[in-house]
Each structure stands twice: as C-alpha cells, then as structure tokens.
Amino acid sequence: MEKTDNYNNSNNGLTFSFADSHGEETRLFSELLNEKDCRDLVLRDLHQGVARCPACEIEVTDTTTLANFWRANRCICKNCKSSFTATTGTFLQGSHLTFAQIVVLRFLYELKNNSINASLIAELLGFSPDTARKWMSTFEDMND
Ligand SMILES: [Zn+2]
C-alpha cells in the first residue's frame, strides 16, 4: 500500500483513505486504535502480566508504583531505589512510537510473515472462517 493510495468506492458508500502529508481529513491507521488499550496490550504481553524492577528484578507490589508501571510512567523501586519505566531494558526503551503504532507494526509484521487466509482473519476478528470468506468475497465484488 503506497502512501497516497486511496480505495474509494462511493457507489458502495465505503472509503478508506490512507494518510498523506497534506490531507486534512485523513487519519493515520494507528489513530483508529485506542492508545490506552494498545499500551495495556503491549505492556501486559511484554511483561507477561508481572511488573518487576529491571535492576533488582523484585516484583512491584505497592499500588502506586504498580499503577505507574502499567501506565508506562516513571517508577522508583522500593527495594533498590532505581528509577525505571515499563519499557526500561526492553526493545521499546527509547522508542518514540505510540503504543498504537507498535500494535499496528506488529500486526503488519504478522501479516507479512503469514499467508492471509480465512482462518487467520477469523482468529484475529473473532468470527468463523465462513464469515471471513463471505466478507472477503463481498470486498472482491466491490472492487470489480
Ligand atoms: Zn529494584
């Protein structure tokens, strides 16, 4: 998908516009996702649901530090006094991407590395492969 590509089918009332550098109404695909939900998804996955100080590896248990950790805010370890966030020492340290951008990137990576078929679509979206095939067929017909 090129940056300036548009899929525009006004007859069917569906328009997908991808971001360009000067469009006023275009939005980034990642902006369709909720940043807080994406942050939760990425951080819970990254830490397997357990918050730990990256320096002394003690589990974070106090409510305030836990809340800060899962919000990706700065934390101070009660044990070793180290300062850290939920991304410290991970591949996300120093990244300026939003969590929504990380989720979209990961999603695109999965698509790039897996053949897209009805089963994968059904798994990602939570419906049956038959429903996935029906909708793919609907979109195919719209493109004709
Ligand atoms: Zn510590």
Mean pLDDT in the chain?
85
Q: Residue range 60-65: average pLDDT?
A: 96
Residue 101 and residue 92: Cα distance in Å, rounded?
12
> Ligand 1 centroid to 106 CA: how many Å?
30
| pLDDT for the residue 108 | 87
Residue 104: which of 36, 31, 2 has the closest Cα? 31
Question: Which residues, other chains included, contact 46 with Cβ-Cβ below 8 Å and sequence gap of 6+?
Answer: 86, 87, 90, 92
pLDDT band at 113 (very low <50, low <70, confident <90, very high): confident
Residues in the chain: 144
Phi/psi at 75 (5° precision): -125, 150
Q: With H, G, I as helix, E, B as strand and everything else as coil, classify residue 114.
A: coil
The one-letter amino acid code at 62 reads: D
> Ligand 1 centroid to 96 CA: how many Å?
25
Asked if the model's pLDDT at residue 143 lies above 70, the reply is yes
> Ligand 1 centroid to 52 CA: how many Å?
8
Asked if the model's pLDDT at residue 6 lies above 50, the reply is no
Structure token pair of residue 38: 């994406």
Residue 50 and residue 94: Cα distance in Å, rounded?
21
Residue 125 and residue 16: Cα distance in Å, rounded?
19
> Ligand 1 centroid to 99 CA: how many Å?
25
Q: With H, G, I as helix, E, B as strand and everything else as coil, classify residue 16.
A: strand
